[in-house]
Structure 1
Amino acid sequence: MKKSIFFTLIILGIFGNLNAQEDPYLWLEEVDGKKALEFVEKQNKITVDKLTNFKQYDAIYNSSLEIYNDTEKIAYPSVYGEFVYNFWKDKDHVRGIWRRSPKAAYLNGTPQWETLIDIDKMSKEDGVKWVYKGANGLYPKYNRFMVRLSKGGGDATIKREFDVTTKTFVEDGFYIEESKGNASYIDENTLIVSSNFGENTMTTSGYPRQIKLWKRGTPLSNAKLIYEAKTSDVAARGYSLRDGSENYIILGRSITFYEYQTFAWINDKLVKLDIPQDVYISGILNNQLILDLKSDWEVDGITYTQGTVISLNFKDLLENKKTIQQLLKPDEFSSVSGIYTTKSKVLINMLNNVSGELYTYSFVDGKWKQQQIDAPAHGSISVVDLDEFSDEYFFSFSNFLTPNTLFIANASDGSFKALKSRKAYFDGSAYEVNQIKVASKDGTKIPYFIVSAKNMKYDGTNPTLLYGYGGFEVSMDPFYSGTFGKAWLENGGVFVLANIRGGGEFGPRWHQAGLKEKRQNVYDDFHAVAKDLITRKVTAPEHLGIMGGSNGGLLVGVAFTQRPDLYNAAVCQVPLLDMKRYNKLLAGASWMGEYGNPDIPDEWEYIKTYSPYQNLKKGKTYPEVYFYTSTRDDRVHPGHARKMAAKMIDMGHPVLYYENTEGGHAGSSTNEQSARSSAMSFSYLLMKLKK
């Protein structure tokens, strides 16, 4: 999830405090409060006892764990120099190992893995439930990395310098205490750092607002401040943008989740980049700064329309001149889902009617030339990683019935070949996929995918799971899931994926049609898909369930409070639900660019119409909701799910509630936890929907 501006007038703050005092469940916002944890423990026991005693629970858990622990699954690559790095979990490595293999051996299909960090061993020695969160390497040799480790899976991490040659953390090396933020190398002796540097160095969204350059051998307190955002901003941003041998430091402030003010740090001075505030910088190649436009931009009488990908001569831009070339202009049915640069090419991953496509672009004689890669069709294509020293890259393909295949490709000639495929965990030939469009309340056509048995009867009795997200320009692409196939499809279930507004399936316009005062469009779209499934007699309300996490958890909360008559089950995962206080809880203030500011009366007027927590009613019939969250989620506060469950219980509405004690916003830290989560969710759904 991403970013927002925070205006709070004194009088609005008073009203906000009065509203907070009226909430009898505020004590559940105390993450580690004794009373709150007693509530969690009590509800966990009730839920575990009920769901783990379901007749199919053990079978679902065992098959899910087998899938998660499969030693033949794809080891996805991260390429640094001559090595491929990978983070791996299985039954012998519960918390995981960070490892590497020579790239040549990996490409030959016989990787020679050497373990760099054993997270299980480290956790045991330190008495901490460490969760690996990634690493940033030192260009160009990549012999050292800044490794990020979380206590329990939250977004806040410690950063430690690690030597991959000696396989040890560097004695007296760079070390940064637990905080949200990042640290990456500028050179061997310099880091660019965003962190909690002490009092008044964090934004109201809980992210760092200062960027510093830290020299080796000096205390962090002496690091040089090079940029400072406002307290009301979402965050300060600082990163290295490399164009071959040239390295640029890019700085700026995230004013909201979707608005940025961007600078380059040139000769110890800030140089403002005169580009739209809502533009997304996607990389640089041959002095061409690649931009993904989120709104129309007029330059010298030429309008570059929303969704277009353009490039600017970067050195000209630093002199406040604009020399622009267009790479790509999507049509109304397509959108850009990713932009990447190899040594000499730009890769653009597209969605065309929610089906993946892949293109390469070459900058020749001052113009961009396009070539489409003849990649597999009718599914999702994801660029996994690339080699910055060549034009080699990796991409994967899958769809609902086709397991993931990893390909090695070369952008210079368009060639590619399969490197490894994941095995099929269920018989895909027994099922079919259809894409259907339905008119939403305002007439907009909303596509959705339906995955069902080929011999499915349209008699309204099929247990059906409807999944959605609808926010932050995140697209819901077709995906392969062995756990969904084994636990749901093989048990007679139908799976539906909704491409509702708020997402990115059809570009920025699709996302912006669900922002702020237009938010109800998202929920109307979801209702429309549900009603269409019932009209087509795929299912009926007593057999229809819904699932979503994070912003999708909000979607589920709105769905079952606005239209409880449509659903008989709701899996509400790590959700936002109290939209009156969401901006006061953890990273919530950063999302006001998406939802609006509830402390501004005019904006609360539209937020309050859908906020699930405020719209619960005693005496109304709701499905028995299953809430799932994590104590260690430091992005979406567990108080949302806790308070909603407690309020529903006190109103007499039956609910199930489970809170994992670790896992962060992902909900789980180990394969065992993921398998348990899957087994509990699908046991609940089968219990409620398969009659």
Structure 2
Amino acid sequence: MTSRRPRSRSLVLALPLALLASCDSGTTTCPEPQPVAETPVSQAPKPAYDYPAARVSAQVDELHGVAVPDPYRWMESIDSEETRAWVEAENAVTFGYLETIESRGAIAKHLEELWNYERYGTPWVKGGRYFFTRNDGLQNQSVYYYADSLDGEPKVVLDPNALNAEGTTAVSGFAVSDDGEHVIYGLSDAGSDWKRWKVREVETGEDLPDLIEWSKFTGVSWSPDNEGFFYGAYDPPKAGDEYEQVNKSPKLYYHRLGQKQRQDALIYADASQPDWQFDGGVSEDGKYLLIDVSAGTDVRTMFYYAKLPKKLTGKKPIAESAVVKLIPELDATYAFIANVGSKFYFFTNKDAPKGKVIEIDVDAFEKARAKDPKARFTARDVIPETEHTLASANYTGGKLFAKYMVDAKHEVRVHGLDGKLESTLTLPESIATVYGFGGKGDPKKTKETFYGLMGFTRPYTIYRYDIATGKSELWREPKLAFDPSRYETKQVFYTSKDGTRVPMFLVHKKGLQPSGSTPTYLYAYGGFNISLTPRFSVPDLVWLEMGGLYAQPNLRGGGEYGEEWHVAGTKLDKQNVFDDFIAAAEYLVDEGWTSAPHLAIGGRSNGGLLVGATMTQRPDLFGAALAGVGVMDMLRFHEFTIGWAWVSDYGSADDPEEFAALHAYSPYHNIKAGTEYPATLVYTADHDDRVVPSHSYKFAAQLQANHVGEKPVMIRIDTDAGHGAGKPTAKQIEEWADLWGFLQAQLDFQLPEGF
């Protein structure tokens, strides 16, 4: 899961997640520990695999009159000797089994062959220089370059691969100054969400002494004079508790180049609202500081601004009284797009569940407020709500580029600033995802913009768009050792349990006919307003070449059909998400594509929760399950790092009604003794500080103690890795070779000849 942060100039939906009280918090009832032998988890027969013994504690919490056992609470101490010994023992069993899978080597080789292709990121312009990323194929991290012209000689700005040999230090933010002379870059180690910011001279590649630490879920933004920047940070966590401590009360600071972090000016904070996050950006004209305000992953946002002085000096360069609370309530999403003078343009879903673009004149608002302190802004619709969901909007070169989701596929429409539709882009692929359209809004300064497009079998391909003519020309197209013409993508619709119509993409070899035996991988997410549009993935290509069918449904809880679709998969209605996923599986079986023994499900983060909940509700429906970095204990997720922020989607066990809903599907609490579950590979990482690994540890231990049958239920624990962002290429290849090898063995199918 990711933190959702609206960013300056475009609407960005990103994605963090998950809650209850521990024994020592004073909010639960904790009995005295009893001998392990007196509190068995189950009377299940001896499992087929010799899983490590996991101590069973007598921990029981009483929540709203319900006794809730938590026999593996001790695993929440992820750095304890006992937990580490269990992790080591589990990995020995898991990797011992994986090494017996003959296909694993061939799969790893094929992954490496397909991954070894040159790829670029969408370029952007600062100070007359073009900046972009490039990976030559198997580099662990992409390298940042600049060039003085679009096709000029690239020069390295930053090579993360040189930072450590293992490639586990990743760039987690990159902001170039308006003059193109300096870059602020964020670094994250071993997949952690924590980032430290450094400053580098573009021309020389030399780092300045500036260093910012304990920043998370925030970007950075240069001040208009290019002599400093705004950033968000938390107070330093307790030593030894960096990966588990709850993250609250972030603050917005201004750092002037050459200063120590302790000298930085506090720009804005609100001690009365520890759940609020403040993300500061600077308007393109340099006249305003823009402050996005959000509460965790709640899609509703607020918006403040302040007029910037020409020079930001002193201990308090912006007085708190200068901050104007334009949108002071969490009643809808507001994401700043751009401003032209005092006219501010926003994406919003206020009174428009599928989104629209509005204009607010802040000068008029300030005049009205001077007369009446309770006065509210007046908004004008620029691009009204349509039947399709507005995913984002950018203002570039005097045009508004509005990106819509049409049944989870992207369509881009170009509007004037008056809202008039001027054209719809002709895309080279209809089932596709599109990113880009950055650049300055001033049409006198921006004549071009760039966008990238990808599909399930089309790698990320980049185009230059001429704003005056509306024509696109190819800039970079990757070449892979893969023939996309051998495969096809189609979209189908199926009916969920309550009659809701749900779309699903199917990708497979051309000419494949339903046979009931096709190995099928069903992957989904279903949460936090995040939409699963067509995506290019080397592992998915390998699955297709293994002879598999890839299925991706768009479940409720996502944003594919606007805020109503999202809300229908949250809190008391979260079960709708699992029902949609189960219905997708039943559709694939009923239509003859596959059958339960040949059907695998997968998901990560909130999608890992999806897998855990679904396999415990319908263990008969699947042959195998891959549960990645999932939220498995729905009663305690808020106790760790950013988990409290996910209450907006999940609800809280502190509320009696929401507790009942959470307890009913929480994967950890719904494993039943003596049940035969699908072959399961839980996978996580010991440095995951988004969804702490104890979720997966506890779920795996409970599953192993209660599962019966011959199928393996194992956990793969990566070391020196985190939630997934920035994972080096080498580690990704290793991980996917294990995952696909596990499915090949458990779904019991042969790889094609010559694979």
Q: Deviations over 1:560-596 (max 9, x none)?
A: 0111111011111111111011111221101100100
Counterpart amino acid of residue 179 in structure 1: S
The change in CA–CA distance for 1:26 and 1:78 in structure 2 (over 3 A counts) is farther
Question: CA–CA distance in 2 between the matches of 1:600 and 1:639?
Answer: 23
Amino acid at match of 1:175: L
Worse overlay, 272-281 or 517-526: 272-281
Q: Which residue is equivalent to 1:631?
A: 686
Give the secondary structure class of the aligned counterpart of 1:593: helix
Aligned pair partner of 2:305 in 264, 287, 290: 264
Residue 578 of structure 2: SS of its match in structure 1? helix
Residue 102 (1) aligns with residue 148 (2): yes
> Which residue is 2:154 aligned to?
113
Q: Render the CA deviation track for 1:533-557: whole Å, top value 9, x for unaligned.
A: 1111111111110011011111111
Change (3 A) 1:249 1:492: closer
Unaligned runs of 5+ residues in structure 2 are: 5-15, 31-58, 62-68, 309-318, 370-375, 750-755
- Aligned equivalent of 1:300: none
- Match 1:154 to one of 162, 181, 192: 192
Would you say 1:185 and 2:241 are equivalent positions?
no
Distance in 1 between residues matched to 2:21 and 2:690, nearest whole Å: 25
Q: Kindly tell me: are residues 314 and 361 of structure 1, through their superposed partners in 2, closer, same or farther at Cα, counting changes over 3 Å?
A: farther
The Cα of 1:466 is off from its aligned counterpart by 0.6
Give the counterpart letter for 1:40 in structure 2.
V
Paired residue for 2:173? 134
- 1: CA distance, partners of 2:469 / 2:249: 43
Instruction: Give the deviation of 1:618 after TM superposition.
Output: 0.9
Q: 1:635: Cα distance to partner?
A: 0.8
Are 1:658 and 2:710 matched, yes or no?
no
Conserved 8 A contact 1:461-1:543: yes
Match of 2:205 in 1: 167
The 5 Å alignment of 1:340-359 reads 340-359=394-413
Q: 1:336 to 1:192 in 2, by over 3 A?
A: same
**When the two structures are superposed, what TM-score results if normalisation uses the length of structure 1?**
0.89
CA contact (8 A) 1:360 1:411 kept: no
1:128, distance to aligned residue in structure 2 (A): 9.6
Report the Cα offset of residue 121 of structure 1. Answer: 2.9
Query: Match for 2:598: what amino acid?
Result: H
CA–CA distance in 2 between the matches of 1:244 and 1:381?
A: 31
Q: What is the alpha-carbon distance in structure 2 between the residues aligned to residue 104 and residue 689 of structure 1?
A: 49
| Cα separation, 1, equivalents of 2:297 and 2:725 | 26
| Distance in 1, Cα, partners of 2:170 & 2:80 | 23
**Aligned pairs for 1:254-653 within 5 A:** 254=295, 257-266=298-307, 268=319, 269-274=322-327, 277=330, 278-287=332-341, 288-296=343-351, 307-319=355-367, 320=369, 322-332=377-387, 334-364=388-418, 368-384=420-436, 386-388=438-440, 389-485=445-541, 487-652=542-707
Match of 2:256 among 212, 215, 220: 215
CA separation of 1:85 and 1:253: change in aligned 2, threshold 3 A = same
Q: Does 1:176 align with 2:212?
A: yes
Deviation at 1:205, TM superposition (A): 5.0
Instruction: Supply the distance in 2 between the matched residues of 1:679 and 1:542 (Cα, whole angstroms).
Output: 21
- Find the partner of 1:246 among 281, 287, 292: 287
Give the secondary structure class of the aligned counterpart of 1:58: helix
Match of 1:108 in 2: none
Asked if structure 1 preserves the Cα contact closer than 8 Å seen for 2:598 and 2:622, the reply is yes
Q: Is the 8 A contact 2:167 2:728 kept in 1?
A: no
* Paired residue secondary structure (2:355): coil
Tell me the CA shift for residue 215 of structure 1: 3.4
SS where residue 572 of structure 2 aligns? helix
Structure 2 match to 1:44: 91
Structure 1 pair 182–282 and aligned structure 2 pair: CA distance change class (3 A) = closer
Distance (Å, rounded) in 2 between the aligned partners of 1:376 and 1:581: 47
Q: Which amino acid aligns with 1:99?
A: Y
Q: CA RMSD in A?
A: 3.0
Q: 1:15 to 1:246 in 2, by over 3 A?
A: closer
Q: Name whichever structure is richer in strand by fraction.
A: 1
1:679 Cα shift? 1.0
Whole-Å separation in 2 of the counterparts to 1:274 and 1:449: 38
Report the identity percentage: 26
Higher mean Cα deviation, 642-651 or 41-50? 41-50
| Other-structure match for 2:48 | none
| CA deviation after TM superposition for structure 1 residue 308, in Å | 2.5
**1:101/1:31 CA distance change after superposition, 3 Å:** farther
Residue 655 of structure 1: how far off its partner (Å) = 1.3
Shift of residue 120 of structure 1?
A: 3.4
CA distance change for structure 1 residues 42 and 113 in 2, over 3 Å: closer, same or farther? farther
Instruction: Assess if the C-alpha contact under 8 Å between 1:355 and 1:379 holds in 2.
Output: yes
Greater relative contact order (Cα < 8 A, sep 6+): 2
* Contact preservation (8 Å) 2:461, 2:476: yes
Show the counterpart of 2:102: 55
**Contact map agreement 1:459 1:539 (CA 8 A) in 2:** yes
**What's the offset of the Cα at 1:351?**
1.1
**TM-score, with length taken from structure 2:** 0.82
Once the two structures are superposed, what CA deviation does each residue of 1:19-69 show, in whole Å capped at 9, x if it has no partner? 776523223222332222222222223222322432221122122123333
**Number of residues of Structure 1 aligned to a counterpart in Structure 2:** 668
Task: Give the superposition deviation at 1:118.
Answer: 3.2
Structure 2 residue corresponding to 1:683, chosen from 741, 745, 750: 741
Partner of 2:232: 194
Letter of the structure 2 residue corresponding to residue 681 of structure 1: L
Q: Name the structure 2 match of 1:143.
A: 181
AA at the equivalent of 2:323: L
Letter matched to residue 352 of structure 1: V
* Contact 1:255–1:261 (Cα < 8 Å) also in 2: no
| Letter in structure 2 aligned against 1:69 | N
1:8 shift after superposition: 9.2
CA shift, 1:331, in A, is 4.0
Cα distance, 1:424 vs. partner?
Answer: 4.5
Aligned to 1:673, the other structure's residue is in SS state helix
Matched letter for residue 125 of structure 2: V
Q: Structure 1 residue 502: deviation in Å?
A: 0.6
